[in-house]
Structure 1
Amino acid sequence: MYADTRSDPLHALLGLEAALAGEERELRGILNLGANDIVVLRLLLAAEQAGDLVRPSEISRTLAISTAATTALIDRLETRGYLARRPHESDRRSIRVTATIPDDSPVRAAFATSRGHRADALDGLPPEQRDAVASAFRRLSDAIGPSE
């Protein structure tokens, strides 16, 4: 379909997927964490940066795992000091989950470096290209991701 693989979006996507998989393998090895642990910590750190709250149900939905598996995962990461359960501010019956990784921790540094590489790659794009990239990522996520 495309004469030049550099202009083929699917070829570029394969390259991105390979790079992300390699980065995740490296993070898992350095931090001695599982794949789901990495996803949860990324979710919590992104929520922290955005000022959002994360409930256990959001973790279950994100990972497409049962509430029992979510509880076990939260327990494991809480025991390792990576997160904590806190009462929800507006719903007394609910809890939220927050990252408790110290600012000077190698774990936080590894995630910050990972996020920084992504941000650096996108920062130089003009606003209309950033919008197009964001739209393409959302469309791909919707097309590939689990339906709710």
Structure 2
Amino acid sequence: MAKVLVDGYWYERSEGERAREVLEALRVYRAAERAMRRRTQDEMSMGENELLALRFLFRQPQHSARPAALTAYLGISAAATSVLVDRLERSGHVHRDTEAGASVVRATEHADDDVRHTLGRMHELMYAVATGMDAQAQANVTEFLRAMADAVDGVEPADGPAH
């Protein structure tokens, strides 16, 4: 009886080897994404929290949120949020408003233009990769990435230092 060779010249790769290849590809992607974020931060002269704050604001209605929402999203103190908003306001990326007596932080058109200019080409390339996949591959990747996010989110901090 002849063995059907699918994955290799002589021996099939084991399930464990294929899983390691998937995780290695994910690690390589994450490293590339971190490098892209560093380049973006350098180009826009912003720190990671500033970029995260803008991204958060762009996902909100009217591109605005209360400072407390930014504080909770970023996991920083109210004082650190105030300093961050001050920096973004000085750079023209946000402005403060008052709505119904409450302070609101709103992303500016300049922020939208700046982010689109800086990240537009990367988003075009990523979109081209995603649209180049067939529907089943898109569904598989979506399911995989959601399951990986759930797995990572489910990890609790270790009780003590690692040995």
Shorter-chain TM-score category? 0.7 to 0.9
Amino acid corresponding to residue 80 of structure 2 in structure 1: A
Amino acid corresponding to residue 43 of structure 1 in structure 2: F
Match of 1:85 among 89, 96, 101: 96
Which residue of structure 2 lines up, in the alignment, with residue 30 of structure 1? Answer: 43
Asked if the contact 2:63–2:107 (Cα under 8 Å) also holds between the matched residues in 1, the reply is no
Gaps of 5+ in 1: none
- Counting matched residue pairs gives 140
Match of 2:70 among 59, 76, 79: 59
Which residue of structure 2 lines up, in the alignment, with residue 120 of structure 1? Answer: 128
Distance in 2, Cα, partners of 1:145 & 1:32? 33
Distance in 1, Cα, partners of 2:139 & 2:102? 40
Q: Deviations over 1:95-145 (max 9, x none)?
A: 332211438844431133344344333334426336414523541452359
Which residue of structure 2 lines up, in the alignment, with residue 73 of structure 1? Answer: 84
Which residue of structure 2 lines up, in the alignment, with residue 14 of structure 1? Answer: 27
Gaps of 5+ in 2: 1-14, 158-163
Distance in 1, Cα, partners of 2:104 & 2:151? 29
Distance in 2, Cα, partners of 1:133 & 1:4? 14
The alpha-carbon deviation at position 66 of structure 1 amounts to: 0.1
Which residue of structure 1 lines up, in the alignment, with residue 117 of structure 2? Answer: 109
Q: Secondary structure in 1 aligned to 2:96?
A: strand
Amino acid corresponding to residue 132 of structure 1 in structure 2: E
The alpha-carbon deviation at position 42 of structure 1 amounts to: 1.9
Q: Which has the larger radius of gyration?
A: 2
Q: Residues 145, 77 of structure 1: CA spacing in aligned structure 2 closer, same or farther, 3 A cutoff?
A: farther
The alpha-carbon deviation at position 77 of structure 1 amounts to: 0.3
Which residue of structure 2 lines up, in the alignment, with residue 99 of structure 1? Answer: 107
- Normalised by the length of structure 2, the TM-score is 0.67
The alpha-carbon deviation at position 39 of structure 1 amounts to: 1.2
TM-align CA RMSD: 3.1
Asked if the contact 2:50–2:84 (Cα under 8 Å) also holds between the matched residues in 1, the reply is yes
Q: Secondary structure in 2 aligned to 1:102?
A: helix
The alpha-carbon deviation at position 12 of structure 1 amounts to: 2.6
